[in-house]
Amino acid sequence: MAETAMMAANRYRLRSLAANGSKGAALALDLLAKTDRLLGVILLFNNLINAAAAMLVSVITIELFGEEEWALGVATMLVTFLILVFSEITPKVIGANHADRLASVVSYALTFLLKATSFVVSFVNIFVFGLLKLLGLNPSDDNDRHRLAPEELRALVIESGQYIPQKHRSILVNLFELEDISVEDVMTPRSSIEGIDLADPIDAIKHQIATSYHTRLPVFSEEMDDIVGILHLRRMLGRAMGADFDKDDIKAVLQDPYFIPSNTPVFSQLRFFQENRQRLGLVVDEYGELLGLVTLEDIIEELIGKFTTSTPDSTDRVGWDADGTVLVDGSHAIRDLNRKLGLNLPVDGPKTINGLLIEHLQEIPETGLSVKIDDVPIEVIQTQDRMVRTVRIFMPKATSNEN
């Protein structure tokens, strides 16, 4: 029981108990740090007791029945049965089912026995390590086996059940994925960027400043690729309502645009935003062409979901209708759809539904065209300006059956 309980104990839980003042847990951790000596003392006494029991039964059998072969055979079967039931199977089942609790209890006795038989255990271990060396094995090579890999930790969080609330579990899982996704995965695509065009009439610009849901907007001149700066709308709002407001007032308060390579990991970008007190960056490809815009809010939403203060947008409320379909904007991010609809559309290539359809078909699809990608039926509802504007996604059969 002691062997099973000690080896099956959750070391992370023992550390938590030890940190909260459990002396038994602290002793258990100390014993687990020297596994060779721990197993040595357990097996030493285990084998001594088993051998003594077998010898005792043999002596009693000989005293009662003499050296009759049948009597010795029955005695051997009996002692084997007793050892299996009372010394092996039952104690080990108990130890496996209550490992953490029992480890803290048996650690007191094991610590005492280890001190009492330290010389014997050390002597036996000399031969054990010598044999391991002859076999080309080194126990120290496996010292890191109790450290969880990121994939194991992620699986542990997912399977934590009632120990971690679902909302917190979702945030932790998203946190593990931050290193694996880039800003291109979470950005607002170029076609959906709202910006101020200095070529527009001043009245149109004033109206845009007054009615925009955003706090910062990129400012460009005629072409989106020609971005001249970032405008903080709240700082400009009062001045924009003045009669003498003109475009020079905008240019005077523009902040320099900050450009981000499209393959920048989201976690690295989050740290940069934090360290430099930035909130917005423009995502560009290797040729410097504008791909989209990413904000601090976009990255945080990747962790905790949409804010209640987010910009009103029908695409934020994606969900299956009663007929098992959903209308989606072509610029909607594939990762977001996978998360909200329980799909498994590929995310290695294009980041939006529009890009996915064009890559899959190798052409701009016509309105009314239907296609199936990874068992997900998709119908093109509207195509405009060489882009897929709206699609209807049908619930896959597997998802439908689960629901």
Strand partners for 266? none
What are the residue boundaries of the structural domains of the chain, listed by start? 2-146, 148-180, 183-304, 314-402
Q: What is the mean pLDDT of residues 178-195?
A: 84
Q: Which residue has the higher pLDDT, 291 or 46?
A: 291
At residue 315, does pLDDT exceed 60? no
At residue 306, does pLDDT exceed 70? no
* Range with the poorest average pLDDT among 68-82, 187-201, 304-318, 340-354: 304-318
Sign of the dihedral defined by the CA atoms of residues 359, 363, 366, 368, in that order: negative
Quick one: pLDDT at residue 380? 92
Q: How confident is the model at residue 186 (pLDDT cuts 50, 70, 90)?
A: confident
Q: How confident is the model at residue 230 (pLDDT cuts 50, 70, 90)?
A: very high
Residues sharing a CB contact under 8 Å with residue 212, sequence separation 6 or more, in sequence order: 194, 233
Q: Which residue has the higher pLDDT, 352 or 402?
A: 352
Task: Report the predicted TM-score, pTM, of the whole model to 2 decimal places.
Answer: 0.59
Q: How far apart are CA 219 and CA 198, in angstroms?
A: 7
Asked whether 400 and 324 are in contact (CB, 8 A), the reply is yes
Instruction: For the chain, give the longest Cα–Cα distance.
Output: 121
Q: What is the mean pLDDT of residues 109-114?
A: 81
What's the pLDDT tens digit per position in 12-35? 777 877 888 888 888 887 777 777
Residues sharing a CB contact under 8 Å with residue 80, sequence separation 6 or more, in sequence order: none
- Residue 90: CA count within 13 A, CB half-sphere: 7
Please state, in angstroms and as integers, the Cα–Cα distance from residue 117 to each residue in 40, 44, 84, 111, 390, following that order: 10, 9, 26, 10, 77
Fold assignment, 183-304: CBS-domain (3.10.580)
Quick one: pLDDT at residue 381? 92
At residue 401, does pLDDT exceed 60? no
Interhelix angle 35-65/23-32, nearest 10 degrees: 90
Q: What is the mean pLDDT of residues 242-260?
A: 87
In this structure, how many other beta carbons lie within 10 angstroms of the beta carbon of residue 304? 13
Interhelix angle 35-65/99-116, nearest 10 degrees: 80
Rg, C-alpha atoms of the chain: 34
Q: What is the mean pLDDT of residues 166-180?
A: 75
Per residue, what are the HEC states of the chain?
Answer: CHHHHHHHCCHHHHHHHHHCCCHHHHHHHHHHCCHHHHHHHHHHHHHHHHHHHHHHHHHHHHHHHCCCHHHHHHHHHHHHHHHHHHHHHHHHHHHHHCHHHHHHHHHHHHHHHHHHCHHHHHHHHHHHHHHHHHCCCCHHHHHHHHCCCHHHHHHHHHCCHHHCCHHHHHHHHHHHHHHHCEHHHHCEEHHHCCCEECCCCHHHHHHHHHHCCCCEEEEEECEEEEEEEEEEHHHHHHHHCCCCCCHHHHHHCCECCCEEECCCEHHHHHHHHHHHCCCEEEEECCCCCEEEEEEHHHHHHHHHCCCCCCCCCHHHHCCCCCCCEEEEECCCEHHHHHHHHCCCCCCCCCCEHHHHHHHHHCCCCCCCCEEEECCEEEEEEEEECCEEEEEEEECCHHHHHHC
Quick one: pLDDT at residue 391? 92
At residue 316, does pLDDT exceed 60? no
Range of 63-67, 148-152, 287-291 with top mean pLDDT: 287-291
Asked whether 38 and 6 are in contact (CB, 8 A), the reply is yes
At residue 394, does pLDDT exceed 60? yes
Q: How far apart are CA 328 and CA 319, in angstroms?
A: 10
Question: What class is the 314-402 domain?
Answer: alpha beta
Quick one: pLDDT at residue 400? 54
Q: How far apart are CA 223 and CA 197, in angstroms?
A: 8
What's the pLDDT tens digit per position in 190-220? 888 899 999 999 889 888 888 888 889 999 9
Q: How far apart are CA 104 and CA 22, in angstroms?
A: 8
Residue type, 123: F
In this structure, how many other beta carbons lie within 10 angstroms of the beta carbon of residue 214? 15
